[in-house]
Amino acid sequence: MVNLGIDETYAVERMRTLILHPEFPGEAYVWKMGDSIISTGRDLIFCQADTGTYEIQLEIIDQQNPVTHSFKVVVWEEQVAYSPYISKVLEYNPAPGQFVNKLPLYEEGDTYETMRQKAEEAIIGTNRGTISLGAWGGYVTFAFDHSVVNLPGKRDFVVHGNAFQSASHAAGGSSEPGIVMVSIDRNQNGLPDDPFYQLRGSEYDNPQTTHHYSITYNKASGDIPWSDNQGNTGAVYKNTFHSQPYFPQWLTDTTLTFYGSCLPDNAEDLSGNGSYYLLHFYGDGYVDCNPNDGLPTDTTQLCAMDIAWATDENGVAVNLPCIDFVRVYTGVNQECGWLGETSTEISLARDLHIEE
């Protein structure tokens, strides 16, 4: 069984990803834990929230060389207690916007790395600072100090923004939806360079949502012009409230291009003259879209996410036992008069399966 590449026993901390790859080829693969099939892929991604010994059986279905192999995984408690909050920001790539270069603050001489560190300092742990992702497509990628486990029938993590409800309109207020993507560290290198999967929010199947969308922003000292792959052009317009440059000043490139899904506009000009906009709330699956109801431990709030919503680029559901990286990007491309562009902000994220 040495040639199979699967040992007799493994030991791993809980909420740590173990990826097993059998070396023997086959027509099909079935991984079982007890009477339950836990995977039918060639690789097994194993991650458990509870300690204990797990008996697993691998069956390689092949007419010439069928193989059945049983082994066990011993899951023990971590030696140092995990934090339920963000432990690291790996990428901070905002699109142009009125709060870019301010949240976090750009200072002369800052580089991509120092701005990443500033974004990390703002939202790591319980700091509850705020970072802006700018206009459509701008994103941040972060991780916890463990894998977030996908528990069936439960919300798995929550991400807070600064959305709030209008005093006179229950349907909206300030709502700047951010799309959530998740990824497993399949190559185990600690970097977010594996495939990402979008969480299927309430507007995913809305016919007005544009999938496979892209936009390019051009650097300018004033308004920031953009063009998209739908043949549209426009600009991120400067306003009188924020006079700093809107293009990320630490970048040397003169263009920025982003890819993803573009949600329908959610702003309504109730005044008719551009003086009062109501940004309508969407349902589940988005960041900074609904108010942060309750504490970060509240699993019923609309900003709580379920890994089971993961879908690939073709809209096919993907079964992820756990995740290692979370990416959030601004999901709406719209201007709201004197309010400026719609830009997602983030202040905190928490694993809902970890206690303080």
Among 50-54, 89-93, 290-294, name the one with the lowest average pLDDT: 290-294
Residue 2, both tokens? 């040495």
pLDDT band at 153 (very low <50, low <70, confident <90, very high): very high
Please check whether residue 144 is in contact with residue 256, taking contact to mean a CB–CB distance below 8 angstroms.
no
Give me the pLDDT at residue 190, please. 97
- pLDDT of 193 above 90: yes
Q: What is the mean pLDDT of the chain?
A: 96
- In terms of Cα–Cα distance, which of 264, 262, 260, 287 is closest to 197? 260
pLDDT at 281 (0 to 100): 97
Tokens standing for 156? 């798995």
Tokens encoding 274:
């551009």
Residues of the chain with CATH 2.60.40.10: 9-76
Q: Which of 91, 134, 86, 157 is nearest to 306 (CA)?
A: 157
| Residue 330 confidence (pLDDT) | 98
What's the CATH architecture for 9-76?
Answer: Sandwich (2.60)
Count of C-beta atoms within a 10 Å radius of residue 73: 20
Distance CA 308, CA 141 (A): 19
CA–CA gap between residue 9 and residue 324 (Å, rounded): 24
Mean pLDDT of the 196-208 span: 98
Q: How far apart are the first and last CA of the chain?
A: 42
- Whole-number Cα distances in Å, 94 to 23, 50, 246: 42, 37, 10
pLDDT of residue 301 exceeding 90: no
Model confidence pLDDT, tens digit, residues 29-58: 999 999 999 999 999 999 999 999 999 999
Chain centroid to Cα 258, Å, comes to 15
What per-residue confidence (pLDDT) applies to 75? 98
Give the three-state DSSP class for 58.
strand
For the four alpha carbons of 47, 48, 51 and 54, in that order, the dihedral sign comes to: negative
The mean-pLDDT minimum among 58-62, 271-275, 288-292, 320-324 falls in 271-275
pLDDT tens string 242-270? 999 999 999 999 999 999 999 999 999 99
